[in-house]
């Protein structure tokens, strides 16, 4: 069982954040946000509240003109106190002359209603008592409300300076720059009444996004310190965070979470790749899903940051099953995919970027006959320096296509058969798990996800092949998502996995001489349920 592997783990590191002055805020093109005083979705309410946390808004109860803070649009000004924060988050116009409603105003305001029970609270509602109000973010445990709630709040300390400023800052579920979090116990919540803004609406139902994209599970170095990091989107999908890697060889560890920017809510799919060829990992993302954008990485070690987005055009909904890799042989990562209507023809969209200037060329049609391929992976399977394609036909048979591109012209050799029986494995990941420098395929038993198998790469020259599956340890059934990288920097491929939805674990690779192996797990802390998606590379 997994519990038997816990020996030697690090102490739990809780996800907190440090303040970073001057972070670049990326204004992602978005569908229309709320109008002042109009209907507003729950996710936008939380995003607006998080904006004040990010901007380090400090508490002041005076509502003097010089103390008011703007909202994210900069069009409205609100008092930097508990009721001003809720007024701003709900985007209301009531009492705009004094910086929004007071707690007394909310008590009798016609646009709010009290809920029958605290259990009826949804994200974006509020809890109100005499003289104080907080925005409800979410339950700490949706299955057990008595474990309390995460909130957005500005509380004050009761010790103002001569201008009314108090040593308290806007806070939320993830700690602010002073280490403060918005946190209410179930017992403390009994002093509050649950209240709802009548114009708040539930977000449209969306297909759930997996924590990790199964097509690409690889982590890369984002802040430029030479160690692969974890990027993560907050629970609302609007704020982007970096969880830095602080490992040394043989000792996996992570640092405090750093918020990079907000405004990512409308991006539906992510890829990580050095798109402009400057040696840094950039972010690519689709919106609508017709548009594709790229955000150049301009980080320095310990200070993650991205440049404003660059559009790579529209009509991306005409392609499906996108893969990222150098398919033209010019050293730049291109984008490949099959036509969305039938899945039968493969296309390559060439990368025409120069460092600092992302761009793409005209799509190049390739061969047909791909409609039976249900999943693609991109990897240099034959170690010739070119990105090959690996594809699963139906659920049981695996093929690989060698990349034979030259001079900027993409091409692939005829398929090589990597055998059948692949339906017996699930959660497939790619990486060098045997220590021979070749990309292997690993997966877990499909019927219970409990035992790990490694399928070794036995390719020689241009002859693509695989060896017999190697059974590894059991006890993996509680791991829901996997990531692959050399996390501790010892030159061997490690595994990371999320246990349940809240704890991140890592297993150091110990493989050598063609024999796969992993150490006992190390914990990278809890509170990972605050991350809704981890962008990865292929």
Q: Token match 């179930």: residue? A: 186
Contact assessment for residue 244 and residue 258, using Cβ atoms and an 8 Å cutoff: yes
User: Measured between alpha carbons, how far is residue 503 from residues 64, 148, 157, 392, 533 in Å?
Assistant: 45, 19, 34, 31, 14
Number of H helices, E strands in the chain: 4, 36
SS3 for 105?
Answer: helix
SS3 for 53?
Answer: helix
pLDDT at 20: 22
Say which residues have a Cβ less than 8 Å from residue 435's Cβ, sequence separation at least 6. 492, 509, 511, 512, 513, 514, 515, 516
Position 538 confidence tier, pLDDT thresholds 50, 70, 90: confident
Position 1 confidence tier, pLDDT thresholds 50, 70, 90: very low
Asked whether the predicted pLDDT for residue 225 surpasses 90, the reply is yes
pLDDT at 47: 86
Instruction: Give the tens place of pLDDT for each residue, 167-212.
Output: 999 999 877 888 888 999 999 999 999 999 999 999 877 666 778 8
pLDDT at 206: 66
> Which of 483, 491, 218, 455 minimizes the C-alpha distance to 333?
218
Q: How many residues are there in the chain?
A: 538
Position 273 confidence tier, pLDDT thresholds 50, 70, 90: very high
- At residue 359, φ and ψ (nearest 5 deg) are -160, 165
Asked whether the predicted pLDDT for residue 413 surpasses 50, the reply is yes
Position 427 confidence tier, pLDDT thresholds 50, 70, 90: very high
Contact assessment for residue 336 and residue 343, using Cβ atoms and an 8 Å cutoff: no
* Of the listed ranges 8-22, 414-428, 436-450, 474-488, the one predicted with least confidence: 8-22
Count Cα atoms within 13 angstroms, Cβ side, for 53: 31
Residues of the chain within CATH 3.90.1720 domain(s) are: 40-198
Position 213 confidence tier, pLDDT thresholds 50, 70, 90: confident
Rg from Cα positions in the chain:
25
Instruction: Give the tens place of pLDDT for each residue, 193-202.
Output: 999 999 999 9
How large is the greatest C-alpha to C-alpha distance in the chain, in angstroms? 78
SS3 for 147?
Answer: helix
Distance from the Cα of residue 127 to its chain's centroid: 29
Instruction: Give the tens place of pLDDT for each residue, 74-109.
Output: 889 999 999 999 999 999 988 888 899 999 999 999
> Which of 531, 421, 420 minimizes the C-alpha distance to 481?
531
Examine residue 289 and say whether the peptide bond preceding it is cis (omega within 30 degrees of 0). Answer: yes
- Residue 460: CB atoms within 10 A of its CB come to 10
pLDDT at 15: 29
Average pLDDT rounded to a whole number, residues 220-247: 93
pLDDT at 482: 95
Position 43 confidence tier, pLDDT thresholds 50, 70, 90: confident
Give 3-state DSSP helix, strand, coil % of the chain, rounded to 5.
10, 35, 55
pLDDT at 207: 66
Asked whether the predicted pLDDT for residue 18 surpasses 60, the reply is no
pLDDT at 11: 24
Contact assessment for residue 510 and residue 518, using Cβ atoms and an 8 Å cutoff: yes
Q: Token match 């798990």: residue? A: 433
Position 23 confidence tier, pLDDT thresholds 50, 70, 90: very low
Position 32 confidence tier, pLDDT thresholds 50, 70, 90: very low
Compute the mean pLDDT over every residue in the chain, rounded to the nearest whole number.
89
Position 402 confidence tier, pLDDT thresholds 50, 70, 90: very high
CATH code that applies to domain 40-198:
3.90.1720
Residues of the chain within CATH 2.130.10 domain(s) are: 2-13+206-533
Average pLDDT rounded to a whole number, residues 126-152: 93
DSSP state of 188: H
Position 19 confidence tier, pLDDT thresholds 50, 70, 90: very low
Asked whether the predicted pLDDT for residue 14 surpasses 50, the reply is no
Q: Token match 């339950």: residue? A: 139
Instruction: Give the tens place of pLDDT for each residue, 320-378.
Output: 999 999 999 999 999 999 999 999 999 999 999 999 999 999 999 999 999 999 999 99
CATH code that applies to domain 2-13+206-533:
2.130.10
Contact assessment for residue 238 and residue 50, using Cβ atoms and an 8 Å cutoff: yes
- How many angstroms separate the CA atoms of 352 and 364, rounded? 13
- How many angstroms separate the CA atoms of 440 and 382, rounded? 11
DSSP state of 415: P
Asked whether the predicted pLDDT for residue 432 surpasses 90, the reply is yes
Asked whether the predicted pLDDT for residue 237 surpasses 90, the reply is no
């Amino acid at each position: 069982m997994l519990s038997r592997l816990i020996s030697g783990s690090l102490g739990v590191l809780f996800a907190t954040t440090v303040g970073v002055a001057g972070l670049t805020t990326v204004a992602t093109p978005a569908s229309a946000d709320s109008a002042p005083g109009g209907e507003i979705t729950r996710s936008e309410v939380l995003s607006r509240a998080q904006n004040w946390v990010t901007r380090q808004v400090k508490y002041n109860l005076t509502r003097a003109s010089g103390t008011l803070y703007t909202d994210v649009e900069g069009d409205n000004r609100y008092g930097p106190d508990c009721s001003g924060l809720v007024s701003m988050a709900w985007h209301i116009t009531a009492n705009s002359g004094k910086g929004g409603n007071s707690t007394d105003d909310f008590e009798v305001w016609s646009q709010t209603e009290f809920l029958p029970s605290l259990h009826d609270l949804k994200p974006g509602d509020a809890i109100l008592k005499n003289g104080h109000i907080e925005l409800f973010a979410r339950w700490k445990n949706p299955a057990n409300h008595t474990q309390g709630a995460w909130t957005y709040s500005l509380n004050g300390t009761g010790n103002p300076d001569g201008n009314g400023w108090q040593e308290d800052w806007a806070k939320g579920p993830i700690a602010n720059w002073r280490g403060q979090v918005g946190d209410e116990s179930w017992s403390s919540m009994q002093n509050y009444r649950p209240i709802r803004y009548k114009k708040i609406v539930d977000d449209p139902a969306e297909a759930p996004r997996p924590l990790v994209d199964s097509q690409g599970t690889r982590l890369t170095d984002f802040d430029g310190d030479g160690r692969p990091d974890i990027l993560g989107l907050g629970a609302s999908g609007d704020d982007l965070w970096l969880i830095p890697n602080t490992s040394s060889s043989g000792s996996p560890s992570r640092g405090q979470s750093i918020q990079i920017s907000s405004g990512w809510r409308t991006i539906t799919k992510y890829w990580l790749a050095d798109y402009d060829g400057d040696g840094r990992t950039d972010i690519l993302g689709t919106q609508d899903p017709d548009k594709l954008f790229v955000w150049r990485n301009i980080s320095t070690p310990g200070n993650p940051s991205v440049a404003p987005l660059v559009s790579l055009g529209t009509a991306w909904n005409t392609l499906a099953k996108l893969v990222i890799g150098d398919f033209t042989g010019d050293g730049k990562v291109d984008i490949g995919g099959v036509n969305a209507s039938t899945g039968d023809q493969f296309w390559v969209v060439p990368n025409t970027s120069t460092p600092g200037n992302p761009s793409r060329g005209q799509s190049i049609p390739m061969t047909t006959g791909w409609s039976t391929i249900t999943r693609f992976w991109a990897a240099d399977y034959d170690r010739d320096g070119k990105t090959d394609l690996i594809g699963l036909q139906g659920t049981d048979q695996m093929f690989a296509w060698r990349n034979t591109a030259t001079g900027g012209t993409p091409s692939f050799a005829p398929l090589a058969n990597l055998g059948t029986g692949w339906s017996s494995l699930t959660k497939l990941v790619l990486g060098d798990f045997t220590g021979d420098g070749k990309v292997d395929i690993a997966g877990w038993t499909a019927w219970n996800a409990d035992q790990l198998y490694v399928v070794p790469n036995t390719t020689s020259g241009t002859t693509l092949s695989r060896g017999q599956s190697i059974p590894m340890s059991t006890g993996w059934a509680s791991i829901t998502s996997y990531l692959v990288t050399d996390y501790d920097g010892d030159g061997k491929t490690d595994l990371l996995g999320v246990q349940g939805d809240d704890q991140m674990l890592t297993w150091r690779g110990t493989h050598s001489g063609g024999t796969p192996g992993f150490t006992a797990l190390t914990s990278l802390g809890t509170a990972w349920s605050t991350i809704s998606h981890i962008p990865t590379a292929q």
